A and B are shown apart, each in its own frame.
Chain A
Amino acid sequence: MNVTTFGEMIDKTATTIEVVDDVIEDPRVAETARQMINAEDLYRYSKVPHEHVTVSD
């Protein structure tokens, strides 16, 4: 893989995600999925200690 730019790292092909699966019919999965979309995320800042997290200009 010869990658030089950020854009080249990911595929250019437009995709449409269609998920047909029995788990979606499970009300527990459907409710959990809804809560994931609306919930405050607990993962985002847990990768490294906060003092190492900065925002660039």
Chain B
Amino acid sequence: MSGLFVSELVAQICQVRQACSQWHPDDLAGHLIDRLNEAVVSQFQLDLSGIVDEKRLAYASIDDLIYPADVDSAQRLWSSGRTAILQSLQTRPGLLNTLCAALEVEEGRRVGCSAYISGPKAESFALHTDDWDAFIVQLQGDKTFWIEDSTSEELRNVDLRRGGTLYLPRRIKHRAHSNAGSMHLSINFLNFPARLTT
């Protein structure tokens, strides 16, 4: 395994954030996408019941967020067509932990990440805003984001396929939909100071 993986990704993400006006679609190299996809998938494979117990697996619909009580409940929620959200991926040792730590040191803000997994035509949140800047990386399938222009209030769409990225600054209204199924990673720059201040 070659070095500089995290450094390469941190540099690209920080470059997008520094250049950003509202949103900035761009593509990441295939080897970066492969590693990020592996990092998310490995957490599912190793410890799904533990994730449920820790309330790190949630399901979204139009206006609510449900935490399953057990794995069977999680499967039922998935079968009902909700988008699954695997939260706080940075709290497990590995690539995503290291990546978020490096971003936190670089940016001076608290950083976390979640994975959003949708089946075909799955429900997800209606038009909403978040209180954090989000750097989104499409890992599998496709997804269309509808983003409100802050001046005209018109919605413009951004279509993401594997490897596509999207930068969503905080408080920008948006919603997302996948026709065929999707998994994306959201790296979130929270409105809290970084853990390390020295």
Contacts and interface: CB of A to CB of B under 8 A. Distances in A.
B67 A36 contact: no
Interface string B151-195: 000000000000000000000000000001111000010101011
Given A20-B2, A57-B69, A39 B195 contact: yes
Contacts of A20: 1-3, 5
Given A1-B140, A20-B3, A57-B69, A36 B44 contact: no
Contacts of A57: 69, 73
Interface in A22-57: 22-24, 26, 28-33, 35-37, 39, 41-44, 46-48, 52-57
A54 B67 contact: yes
Contact of B74 (A6, A21, A35): A6
A28 B191 CA distance: 20
B136 interface: no
Nearest to B35: A17
30 contacts: A3-B119, A3-B120, A3-B180, A6-B74, A9-B181, A9-B183, A15-B42, A15-B45, A17-B42, A18-B1, A19-B5, A20-B2, A26-B105, A29-B98, A33-B101, A36-B91, A36-B101, A37-B91, A39-B91, A41-B88, A41-B112, A42-B190, A43-B87, A43-B114, A43-B188, A46-B132, A47-B65, A47-B85, A48-B63, A48-B64
Interface of B: 1-7, 10, 35, 37-42, 44-45, 55-56, 58, 60, 63-69, 73-79, 84-85, 87-88, 90-95, 97-98, 100-102, 104-105, 110, 112, 114, 117-120, 125, 128, 130-132, 140-142, 180-183, 188, 190, 192, 194-196
List the 7 shortest-distance A-B pairs measured between CB atoms, nearest first: A3-B181, A33-B101, A32-B101, A6-B78, A1-B181, A43-B112, A21-B6
Interface of A: 1-6, 9-11, 13-24, 26, 28-33, 35-37, 39, 41-44, 46-48, 52-57
